[in-house]
Amino acid sequence: MHCQYKDICKEYNCKAKVYTQPNGNLGCMIGAPDLIILFTNLVSHKMAAIAKKQAFRKEIELVQAHCCSCSSLRNILEEKLG
C-alpha cells in the first residue's frame, strides 16, 4: 500500500510520507506537513495518539478516516486539494 499511497499523492502534486509501523521517533519524523491523513484502522493506538499530538502542537490539519482504501485517500485529497 505504501507505493500506491505515494503514487496517488503524486497525482495530486503532493509529496507523501507513509508510516504504518512504529519506527523510531515518529513525532520527529512527521515534520511539518500541510496535512496529516490518519487511517485509524491501519495504525496502532499509540501511533494515532502521536500523530494527533503532533497535529495539535504544530497546528497541522488532521483528517481521520477509518477506511484505508485507495479510493478513500483519493476522496480526501480531492476534498482538501480540489
Average pLDDT, rounded, for the chain: 91
For position 5, what pLDDT does the model report? Answer: 94
Rounded to an integer, the average pLDDT of 52-74 is 94
For position 62, what pLDDT does the model report? Answer: 96
Kindly list the domain boundaries of the chain, sorted by start residue: 2-81
pTM of the model: 0.87
Half-sphere exposure (Cβ direction) of 7: Cα atoms closer than 13 Å: 6
In contact, 53 and 28? CB cutoff 8 Å: no
Nearest to 3 by CA among 13, 22, 21, 16: 16
- Asked whether residue 23 carries a pLDDT value surpassing 80, the answer given is no
Determine whether 54 is exposed, middle or buried from the number of CB atoms within 10 Å of its CB (0-12, 13-18, 19+).
buried
Work out the pLDDT band at 28, boundaries 50, 70, 90: confident
